[in-house]
Amino acid sequence: MARKKDSAGLNLIRGKDMDFEDGVLCVMRWAAVGAEEGQTATPMGEEKARSLEGFREVLGEYLDVLTEELPTELPPQREWDHRIEVKLGSEPPSKAPYRLNQLKMLELKKQLGELLARGYIRVSKSLYGAPMLFTKKKDGKMRLCIDYWVLNKVTIKNNYPLPRMDDLFDRLAGAKFSVG
């Protein structure tokens, strides 16, 4: 654990940067400990979220941004839209589809029909192709997965270095925040 003093004179104690606890991914865990009184403050909702019921309660506060269904349309094109760049002179990767049993074929037709109807995918004559497969979700439904390993072989890797979490926290050392 790292200990630092913030601008208010509090000892900041940081635990693990990332932790998986009770099925919930905690990106940052911290407590501010008063130097004299020993008072602690924890991030809003952290204690509620420790139990499944508490987690549901915290999520209930954000129902306006959480949905059961996927959106019905794609967002508008933006300058930061994702691009996949491939190595110059590489053959367009295309791999034969994996064999599917009848149940999975029916599920594939159903899911592709839904994706086509919503405009997420379109009929294509592209030379690029990737096989797909299904994985079973916890609720028993089938999740459609695309196997892009052949495409990944010819993709130019984005080697932009990701910032270290500790460095980001150090930059925030003098930041002001309030807990309501």
Predicted confidence (pLDDT) per residue in 61-74, tens digit:
877 777 767 677 77
The answer to whether the beta carbons of residues 172 and 28 sit under 8 Å apart is no
pLDDT digits over 49-64, tens only? 456 677 677 777 877 7
**Residue 94 scores a pLDDT above 80:** yes
Instruction: Report the alpha-carbon distance of residue 149 to residue 4 in Å, rounded.
Output: 44
- Both tokens of 32, joined, read 């501010």
Q: Which sequence spans correspond to the domains of the chain? A: 2-67, 102-154
* Averaged confidence pLDDT in the chain: 74
Give the SS3 label for residue 16: coil
Q: What is the length of the chain?
A: 180
Instruction: Report the alpha-carbon distance of residue 62 to residue 80 in Å, rounded.
Output: 27
Reference 70, options 140, 119, 104, 124; nearest CA is 119
Sequence-distant (6+) residues with CB within 8 A of 147 are 95, 98, 130, 131, 132, 133
pLDDT digits over 95-135, tens only? 999 999 999 999 999 999 999 998 888 898 889 899 999 99
Residue at 31: amino acid letter: A
Q: Give CA torsion, residues 70, 74, 79, 83, to 10 deg.
A: 80
Query: So what's the pLDDT on residue 83?
Result: 83
